[in-house]
Structure 1
């Protein structure tokens, strides 16, 4: 059990870790900004095929991140022999249970918000219908006024639908970024305390990981059509999450006990929550929303459809392979 209290070895290269911090910061920012910039500037829209492929690849990355990068370490950490008897023998599937609870909680939150928004729409529709029945087919000046009222009711109804749809999408993007945030800080911490060949391998894997996960984040942010400042804040949040984890790792590298109870529980719980959120978001919100039930996507010819789906598989496969190191 002495390994449960061992600290980091002495061959720690702090300049290399600082360089890795800034490299990953820039890589994350570029990956997140590409789809947002392409969405906002018409002269980049001829790259739509490339962006669709990148979106599909990023979707595969998100799904594989949840299944391969989050769930296994969560289950491993929360069933470690360095933890009390409850975690190792009484219930050693706690990581999977927390991920399940996180996924179902996100579903509950989505259902609750949908019910509220649907009631808003139904109420607005009822007011619009009532105004139409009361107006009948009037003539004269008073009829013109009532028609204006009716037109305003219809306009308000359509506006409510658009607002509700936009609100729901924005909420889902925020939930998605929350899941990514936990995960990003954890992997940054792991890089910040690693040394030697482990550091070099993990660094190369994270550069790739952050770019394409950032692409998925940027695509969802651009689809939600946030305001300029909100978009900038969300880009900065994602770009800074892993560097923040790295900086924490650099600060505690010489005293960090990877297998202490506090470390195992913290990393295990956060990984499990992130895994549940990313699996739900990747399968339901990204894969289903953008591809499986997207009528515009399904109206394309067969070759483009299955080519894009192939990029989903490619992203998932690449990220699954990277799971051997990150």
Structure 2
């Protein structure tokens, strides 16, 4: 292995600049996540629906590009580095992509398992409801009441619609939790990278992360708002996202003078976390956000063509902008 595998950070470390970056990214992340939540909860703000849809679309493009451009390549690079043992460099140099694939399939398995369990719970509740209705009917007949006045549907239309809404609500809540898990790993890693960087690398990465955190936060805030969590859970999710990258920056600042970026432990840890994050974000971005909000959303596709394709163009714009940012972040 070359000596670069054991190199540490240079001595020109600007502590005040890193502290300023930490608080700037904290505030930017918080604002980006709060905007769609506040807009949904307080309609009097009168934010035009097109702007909300455009922000959601841009954030979706950002998430997809983050998975493909920001997470997957470093996962492959780190887990095939020449600073790692022979297995990583020659025997199987696609481990990063395999980790991402495993993460995406695991998320799909988790989602379908939770959906199956949820459907069984709802089915049992409906059977119990039907049984209770029949028992009430028997009681009414024993007291001589007219049977025609007793309604005994297994599941009437309003109950059916409520059940569907409940299932969709739970599924969306699960999606949001999975989404935030994927973003968490990724946010801490990029924060750590900023925390240990110096010079022009620090300045470029900082500018990229301000942009990145705002629009990724907007995507998260939109899903949290759609899921309609309680106020405390919503606030907790906003704070979690807002703090994840600053926590990574703090860790990076603490280890900046001893951090060995190309050590085996660092490469494997970052490679696996990047791969897991990439798989989760790619699955969430393509399957859940893009499909759920746009491709299979009848309310969206039934709008006029100009509106529909304008919003899809914003998805592309978000993906393109985040892909360009990938040159520095």
State if a TM-score over 0.5 links the two structures: yes
TM-score, normalised by the number of residues in structure 1? 0.93
Aligned partners of 1:324, 1:212: CA distance in 2, in Å?
17
| One of 184, 191, 206 as aligned partner of 1:181 | 184
Structure 2: runs of 5+ lacking an equivalent: none
- The aligned counterpart of 1:244 is 247
Aligned partners of 2:144, 2:265: CA distance in 1, in Å?
73
Contact 2:134 2:152 in 1 (8 A): no
- The aligned counterpart of 1:112 is 113
- Deviation of residue 127 (structure 1)? 4.5
Structure 1: runs of 5+ lacking an equivalent: none
Aligned partners of 1:142, 1:89: CA distance in 2, in Å?
84
Aligned partners of 1:171, 1:45: CA distance in 2, in Å?
29
Matched, 1:100 2:105: no
Aligned partners of 1:274, 1:145: CA distance in 2, in Å?
59
- What is the CA deviation profile of residues 252-311 of structure 1, one whole-angstrom value per residue up to 9, with x for unaligned ones? 000000000111011000000000000000001100000000011011000000000000
Inter-CA distance 219–55: structure 2 relative to 1 (3 Å threshold): same
- Deviation of residue 149 (structure 1)? 8.1
- Deviation of residue 34 (structure 1)? 0.2
| One of 186, 197, 219 as aligned partner of 1:194 | 197
Decide which moves more: 301-310 or 123-132: 123-132
Aligned CA RMSD, in angstroms, stands at 2.4
- What is the CA deviation profile of residues 222-266 of structure 1, one whole-angstrom value per residue up to 9, with x for unaligned ones? 000000000000000000000000000000000000000111011
Contact 1:191 1:203 in 2 (8 A): yes
Q: 5 Å matches for 1:133-148?
A: 135=137, 143=145
Matched, 1:233 2:241: no
- What is the CA deviation profile of residues 21-44 of structure 1, one whole-angstrom value per residue up to 9, with x for unaligned ones? 000000000000000000000112
Matched, 1:77 2:74: no
- Deviation of residue 145 (structure 1)? 9.9
- The aligned counterpart of 1:207 is 210
Matched, 1:278 2:281: yes
Inter-CA distance 322–145: structure 2 relative to 1 (3 Å threshold): farther
- What is the CA deviation profile of residues 121-173 of structure 1, one whole-angstrom value per residue up to 9, with x for unaligned ones? 3334444556667849x779665899678589757765544333222111110
Decide which moves more: 14-23 or 160-169: 160-169
Aligned partners of 2:144, 2:171: CA distance in 1, in Å?
39
Q: Is the partner of 1:215 in helix, strand or coil?
A: helix
How many residue pairs end up in the alignment?
325
- The aligned counterpart of 1:50 is 51
- Deviation of residue 204 (structure 1)? 0.2
Q: Is the partner of 1:296 in helix, strand or coil?
A: helix
Inter-CA distance 241–142: structure 2 relative to 1 (3 Å threshold): farther
Inter-CA distance 78–139: structure 2 relative to 1 (3 Å threshold): same
Aligned partners of 2:130, 2:272: CA distance in 1, in Å?
50
Q: Is the partner of 1:92 in helix, strand or coil?
A: coil
- The aligned counterpart of 2:9 is 8
Contact 2:195 2:253 in 1 (8 A): yes
Contact 1:120 1:160 in 2 (8 A): no
